[in-house]
């Protein structure tokens, strides 16, 4: 049976990326160890995005902190594809990482890509840790193009604790029409709750608010605006003694 994008992403999320001296969180903090307790259906059934709202009370003052997260399983399986070239590359053994140009690739893998006309594409190499995105796990990779100028992604997923180590072997994917316009390194997600006219969008680390009743919009909102709406969200979803609530959201692609 031919392996699918979904199965490949699942395999990467559960791949044993080892333990490093750089790890500060110990065994409980490694993504791959936590993920190995999950099934493919567990990943499928998780929300595409979550918003944790944490309530703080100090000196008779209440404040709220919002922590959005985009789930990388849903993101990657939504916007990545396979073709025969991807499947052939991903079946190659990876005995070591000795490529001079690409992360997570052997010297043989690098040569294989060059022989088939792959070169670095727009965006080049990246690591999402470097700009503090809202992804559930760090992504690292290279954007590539082939001789026909078709867009591909050579991708690793971080499975460790410390961002300096603990990455999977790189796998090759083809970018679909959506991800070519809105790269998978983006983290655009949206949230809304019953009982509140406002919705909250997190788009490339900027926050916008939209009132569905009045059609009023705010971009890069002030803290007071955000606090009022987070309070309404919290009241709608939480109990009086709750310290945090989780709200499910959607990818915006």
What does the pLDDT look like over 58-83, one tens digit per residue?
Answer: 998 999 999 999 999 999 999 899 99
Domain assignment of residue 118, yes or no: yes
pLDDT band at 204; cut points 50, 70, 90: confident
Burial category of 235 from C-beta neighbours within 10 Å (exposed 0-12, middle 13-18, buried 19 and up): middle
Q: In this structure, is residue 56 part of a structural domain?
A: no
Residue 208 domain flag: no
Encode pLDDT of 155-194 as tens digits. Answer: 999 998 788 889 999 999 999 776 665 567 778 899 999 9
Residue 12 lies in a domain: yes
Q: Starting at the edge strand that comes first in sequence, how are the strands of the sheet with 61-70 ordered? A: 61-70, 49-58, 244-251, 189-192, 198-203, 206-211, 217-219
C-alpha to C-alpha distance for 66 and 229, rounded to whole angstroms: 11
Counting residues of the chain whose pLDDT is more than 90, the rounded percentage is 70
- How far is 76 from 99, CA to CA, in rounded Å? 24
CB 166 within 8 A of CB 158: yes
pLDDT at 217: 93
The pLDDT score that the predictor gives to residue 191 is 96
The rounded mean pLDDT for the chain is: 90
Distance CA 161, CA 10 (A): 19
Over residues 40-60, mean pLDDT: 96
Which residue reads 């000795």 in tokens?
Answer: 98
> Would you say residue 219 lies in a domain?
no
Buried b (16+ CB within 10 A) or exposed e, 59-97: eeeeebebebbbbbbbbbbbbbebeebbeebbeeebeeb
Domain range for 11 is 5-42+71-181
Domain count across the chain: 1
In a domain, 203, yes or no: no
User: Cβ distance 51 to 67 under 8 Å?
Assistant: yes
CB atoms within 10 A of CB 128: 21
Specify whether the CB–CB gap between 173 and 155 falls below 8 A: yes
* CA atoms of 168 and 140, how far apart (whole Å): 9
Residue 85 has pLDDT above 80, yes or no: yes
Tell me the pLDDT tens digit for each residue of 229-244: 999 999 999 888 899 9
Q: For residue range 2-38, list pLDDT tens digits in order.
A: 789 999 999 999 999 877 655 555 555 688 989 999 9
Cα distances from 205 to residues 187, 202, 220, 227, in angstroms, run 7, 6, 9, 17
Q: What is the 3-state secondary structure (H, E, C) of 161-193?
A: CCCCCCECCCEEEEECHHHHHCCCCCCCEEEEC
Q: Is residue 159 part of a domain?
A: yes
Q: Is residue 47 part of a domain?
A: no
């Amino acid at each position: 049976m031919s392996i699918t994008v979904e199965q490949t992403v699942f395999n990467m999320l559960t791949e044993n990326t080892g333990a490093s001296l750089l790890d500060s969180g110990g065994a409980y903090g490694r993504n791959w160890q936590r993920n190995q307790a999950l099934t493919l259906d567990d990943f499928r059934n998780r929300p595409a995005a979550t918003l944790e709202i944490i309530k703080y009370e100090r000196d008779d003052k209440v404040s709220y902190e919002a922590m959005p997260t985009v789930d990388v399983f849903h993101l990657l399986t939504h916007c990545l594809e396979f073709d025969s070239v991807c499947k052939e590359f991903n079946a190659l053994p990876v005995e070591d990482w000795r490529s001079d140009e690409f992360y997570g690739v052997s010297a043989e893998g690098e040569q294989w890509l060059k022989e088939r006309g792959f070169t670095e594409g727009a965006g080049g190499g990246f690591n999402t840790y470097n700009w503090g995105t809202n992804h559930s796990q760090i992504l690292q990779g290279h954007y590539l193009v082939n001789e026909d100028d078709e867009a591909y992604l050579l991708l690793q997923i971080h499975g460790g604790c410390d961002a300096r180590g603990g990455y999977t072997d790189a796998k090759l994917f083809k970018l679909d029409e959506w991800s070519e316009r809105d790269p998978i390194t983006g983290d655009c997600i949206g949230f809304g709750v019953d009982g509140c006219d406002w919705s909250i969008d997190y788009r490339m680390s900027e926050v916008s608010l939209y009132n569905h009743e009045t059609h009023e919009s705010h971009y890069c909102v002030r803290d007071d605006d955000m606090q009022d709406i987070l309070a309404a969200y919290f009241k709608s979803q939480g109990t009086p003694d709750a310290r945090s609530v989780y709200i499910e959201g959607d990818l915006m692609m």
